[in-house]
Structure 1
Amino acid sequence: MEKEKFAIKGMTCEHCAMHVTTALEGLSGVKSAKVSLKKNEALVKFDAEVTPVEEMAAAVKEAGYELVK
């Protein structure tokens, strides 16, 4: 299990942070995602073999935001 911080662009409110959290936690292999609007970042615990960073970035993009690796 890996733990990594990612910058998130495009969030403007707590609903945005909830959308990013939901997008990340909806992926298999993601154990948890703690998204901070104040810091514009996400702390994600995940299994990189099951969920690569590119898949997380795609899910966040589909939700309307940008995950910066």
Structure 2
Amino acid sequence: MSKKQLTVEGMSCGHCKNAVETALMDLEGVNQAEVDLDAKTVTIKYEGVSEANLTAAIENAGPYEVQ
């Protein structure tokens, strides 16, 4: 299993946290997604998912930009 932490701009509230976590958890192969609003990061544990797919899921969930 791989673990990755991404910086995400545009997250500011509980709705943002839920939207990003849900979008990631909906991807097959993502086992855990945890947003830290203060740090503007999301930590993801996954298998068999490309970083491009992780980024696309986040950016398609709302006005978010992966740095």
Root mean square deviation, CA, Å: 0.9
Listed as ranges, the gaps of 5+ residues in structure 2 are: none
TM-score (norm 2): 0.91
User: 1:67 Cα shift?
Assistant: 2.2
Question: What is the aligned-residue identity percentage?
Answer: 36
| 4+ runs deviating over 3 angstroms | none
Number of paired residues? 66
Following the alignment from structure 2 to structure 1, what is the Cα–Cα distance between the partners of residues 54 and 4? Answer: 12
Q: How does 1:2-13 map to 2 (within 5 A)?
A: 2-13=2-13
> Which residue does the alignment assign to 2:54?
56
Following the alignment from structure 1 to structure 2, what is the Cα–Cα distance between the partners of residues 67 and 13? Answer: 17
Which secondary structure does the structure 2 equivalent of 1:4 belong to? strand
